[in-house]
Structure 1
Amino acid sequence: MLQSYNNNLEELTPNDALTILMDGNTRFVNGISKSKNFLSRVEETGSQQKPFAAILSCMDSRAPVEILFDQGIGDVFSVRIAGNVVSENVLGSLEYAVGVSGSKLIMVMGHTNCGAVKGACDHVEFGNLTGLLNKIQPAVTAGNAGDGEKNSKNDAFVEDVTRLNIQNSINSILQQSEVIKKLTEEGKISLVGAVYNVSKGTVELLGEQN
């Protein structure tokens, strides 16, 4: 089914794209990922690509999106940066995906036990990483520490900051990109948030999709 969608991307709906991703994660978690001929896909996609989705995720080595969503070469755009934060370059990449290439879905995916989030919680300063972690600080400030302290040793706080940071990235995308906002309002694409559990392999969707 995915192959036919790649050949006829205009027939794919945003909901179809999300279903393909989540079905792929179900296969991954259950150990029934589809057999893939990567060399064949190299030949098929050598002259053009039609990815059905774009995923903004963290650079963490435990969260390779193509694998955990059981996708192959040419199926998804993968934009990876520590803490899945938004920048001008990230926005440009996502705008290309949906505005030029025709992808139907943008997913912003954070993950559990995120080093970038923990670094932000502890107010780490280290070279150029400092500026990146500053983008997560609004989530740190708003995060609920419960009865614990606002630092990386408080697992509940880290989880809350992770989820808030994902939503903040979604808000930033809509606020800073007229291209994506317009396509979303017109129903041509969807923008969703998700959390990947690095211990279980599962992807959890957050809230309602835009």
Structure 2
Amino acid sequence: MRTHTKETQSSMTPDKAIQFLKEGNERFMNNLKTNRNLLQQVNETSTGQFPFAAILSCIDSRTSAELVFDQGLGDVFSIRVAGNIVNEDILGSMEFACNAAGSKLIMVLGHTKCGAIIGACNHVELGNLTGLLKKVGPAIERETATKTERNGKNLEFVTHVTENNVHLAIEQIRKQSPILTDMEREGEIRIIGGMYDVETGRVDFYGIG
């Protein structure tokens, strides 16, 4: 498979970008990885890149976006940080990806059994990690159904917080980036969320048929 070019990126729609990711995840789950000549892709991207999507995911070693969506060099911007949280630098990276580099989709990808979410639920404090985990606080507060055992040992509680964290990240992107909000309003991009299951390899796309 060849890498994306300016022409293929330009003809890409946000909905088609979503379909590309869904089809890639299906291949991943069925161990049907696309045959790619990576050295050829190095050569093809040496003078430019035309990724069709920007994916914010966790640093967890099991959640590489290129792998779980079966994408190659030059196909996606991969933004990774523990807990797939949003900050000013990440917003700037997304704005570059879409407004400057032409990507058609932003996806916030959470995952099951996330150590950062579990740590936040347990109120872990450890150096600079303390401040990062506090950014998960609003997702914990939003989970009001759980009255007892509001900690990392309660799998249902952690799952709900993880889902909330994805939805809150999307809300933050729309609230804190007028550039991306305007692009989404004009239909130039879409901003979506999803959840990767570390046991099955499946990505559940939120709100997508």
Whether the TM-score (by the shorter chain) exceeds 0.5 is yes
**In the alignment, does 2:8 pair up with 1:8?**
yes
1:166 aligns with 2:166: yes
For 1:180 and 1:142, locate their aligned partners in 2 and report how far apart those are by CA, in whole Å.
Answer: 25
Count of residues in Structure 1 that have an aligned counterpart in Structure 2: 209
Per-residue deviation, 1:207: 2.6
- Output the TM-score relative to the length of structure 1: 0.95
Using the TM superposition, give the Cα deviation of residue 35 of structure 1 relative to its aligned residue in structure 2, in angstroms: 1.1
Equivalent residue runs for 1:50-89 within 5 Å: 50-89=50-89
1:148·1:154 contact (CA, 8 Å) conserved in 2? Answer: no
Matches within 5 A, 1:1-150: 3=3, 7-144=7-144, 146=146, 148-150=148-150
Partners of 2:4 and 2:129 in 1: how far apart? 42
Local SS of the residue matching 1:8: helix
CA drift of 1:8 comes to: 2.6
**What stretches of structure 1 move > 6 A for 4+ residues in a row?**
none
Tell me if the contact between 1:5 and 1:12 (Cα under 8 Å) persists in the aligned partners. no
Give the deviation of 1:144 after TM superposition.
Answer: 4.4
Partner of 2:153: 153
Question: What SS does the aligned partner of 2:22 have?
Answer: helix
Could you say what the CA RMSD is over the residues aligned between the two structures, in angstroms?
A: 1.6
Distance 1:70 1:133, change over 3 A: same
| Distance in 2 separating the partners of 1:125 and 1:179 | 34
Q: Which runs of 5+ in 1 are unaligned?
A: none
Percent identical across equivalent pairs?
48
TM-superposition CA deviations, 1:40-65 (whole Å, max 9, x none) = 00000001000000000000001011
Instruction: Work out whether residues 58 and 84 of structure 2, in 8 Å CA contact, stay in contact via their aligned partners in 1.
Output: yes
The amino acid across from 2:26 in the alignment is: T
Structure 1 counterpart SS, 2:193: strand
Distance 1:175 1:208, change over 3 A: farther
Offset at 1:143? 1.5
1:182-204 deviation digits (Å, cap 9, x = unpaired): 00011100000000001110000
Whole-Å separation in 2 of the counterparts to 1:39 and 1:65: 20
Q: Letter of the aligned partner of 1:11 in structure 2?
A: S
- Structure 2 unaligned segments of length 5 or more: list them: none
